[in-house]
Amino acid sequence: MNVHGPITDTADGNMTSKGQVLIPKHLRDHAGLVPGGEITVGLNAEGQVTVVPRQTGETRAERKAKYLAQIQSVVGTLDTGFATTDEYMDYIRPHRLEDW
């Protein structure tokens, strides 16, 4: 979690009374910070506050496999009342020219 060089990009801002700080999008993107993502906040050797994504020990491939498994676990669980996609499309499309 050490910063091993000079700060190359900065942005000015304010801290709220609750200690909340807005990190500009270009800095979040560069640091790999994502909404809802876990972070680690700490002090480096120079006494500077650092914010970095929390290291989970998972590889990108492992995270992808986990997310795909979560998505796959809900595939086909929504009951629309239609047996096929064609039945649903027939239901939502107008059948007469004057309905267009």
pTM: 0.46
Q: For residue 38, give the DSSP letter.
A: -
pLDDT digits (tens, 9 = 90+) for 11-43: 788 889 999 888 888 888 888 888 888 888 999
In angstroms, the Cα distances linking 2 to 10, 23, 29, 44, 76 are 17, 19, 19, 5, 47
pLDDT digits (tens, 9 = 90+) for 37-84: 888 899 988 888 888 888 777 787 888 899 999 999 998 888 888 888
In sequence order, the 6+-apart residues with CB closer than 8 A to the CB of 9 are 26, 27, 30
48-59 core/surface letters (b: 16 or more CB in 10 A; e: else): eeeeeeeeeeee
Task: Return d(Cα 97, Cα 93) in angstroms, integer.
Answer: 11
